[in-house]
Structure 1
Amino acid sequence: MAIPTPTDIQLHQTSRKLEIAFSDGARFELPYEFLRVYSPSAEVRGHGPGQEVLQVGKRDVLINAAEPVGLYGINFFFSDGHDTGIYSWEYLHDLGVNQAALWDEYLKRMDAAGASRDPGIAQMFEHRPKTK
């Protein structure tokens, strides 16, 4: 089965959402915050299971720019300086399909960590998983 490819991509700065339509007819609105906290970068995902870094204080993050990467993806340049991690078309499609469950999981992790989505001094420190 072929991986769906984008037919339309729009960044909406006022609503802080990426609107993306795919060749399979799917259309998603992905908030910038959601894209930032689910960045495919090693900085966010770590280098293996259990090494994920909880992203806090990202509620107001913007995407300042986007740049295509070959024919397979896109790189976003976020207002907090994050600019690593290639969002493949397949990954963006999966984020759209699983958005509700992923967002719920993120909010539960934030609650468990006692962290906040709001930027501020308390969020200047990254919340890393505790080591045993």
Structure 2
Amino acid sequence: MRKNTVRPTDIKLHQKSRILEVTFADGSRFELPAEYLRVYSPSAEVRGHGPGQEVLQVGKQSVNIVAIEPVGTYAVLLRFDDGHDTGIYSWDLLYNLGIHQDRLWREYLSRLEQAGHGRT
């Protein structure tokens, strides 16, 4: 964890809407869809073991989070209903996913389209 990490003050899972709501100590509040968190999982399964080894995640529009488990004082492990449970989401990662959500989501949709996949 970095020295200037902004820590969450509240994490709420909204199962029905498939949204993870995270509020941080600086007042920032993000509503992060389960699909977004799943396709940007920090796991090696998604990110690979180095640059250029990322694996495009497809067919995740209906995925949901079934459990949130604390990892020390620096992160949470998210368990998804598609069986994915190997990504540890640090506070820094969750904050960055929130801050850059619009751009990252557009990039993901662009990569899906370029690969010939849709979200139907």
Bin of the TM-score, shorter chain as denominator length: over 0.9
Kindly provide the amino acid, as one letter, of the partner of residue 32 in structure 1: A
Counterparts of residues 1-132 of structure 1 (less than 5 Å): 2-118=4-120
1:80-130 Cα deviation digits (max 9, x unpaired) = 000001000000000000000000000000000001334xxxxxxxxxxxx
Larger radius of gyration: 1
Q: Distance in 1 between matches of 2:46 and 2:117?
A: 16
RMSD of the TM alignment (CA)?
A: 0.9
Structure 2, unmatched stretches of 5+, are none
* TM-score (norm: length of structure 2): 0.96
Cα distance, 1:2 vs. partner? 1.8
Aligned partner of residue 28 in structure 1, secondary structure = strand
Kindly provide the amino acid, as one letter, of the partner of residue 29 in structure 1: E
Aligned partner of residue 10 in structure 1, secondary structure = strand
Kindly provide the amino acid, as one letter, of the partner of residue 70 in structure 1: G
Q: Distance in 1 between matches of 2:96 and 2:29?
A: 12
Larger relative contact order (Cα-Cα within 8 Å, sequence gap ≥ 6): 1
Q: Distance in 2 between matches of 1:54 and 1:6?
A: 28
* TM-score (norm: length of structure 1): 0.87
1:45-81 Cα deviation digits (max 9, x unpaired) = 0011110000000000010111000000000110000
Kindly provide the amino acid, as one letter, of the partner of residue 46 in structure 2: V
Structure 1's consecutive aligned runs of 4 or more residues displaced over 2 angstroms after TM superposition are none
Q: Distance in 1 between matches of 2:5 and 2:26?
A: 9
Structure 1, unmatched stretches of 5+, are 119-132
Cα distance, 1:41 vs. partner? 0.3
Kindly provide the amino acid, as one letter, of the partner of residue 82 in structure 1: H
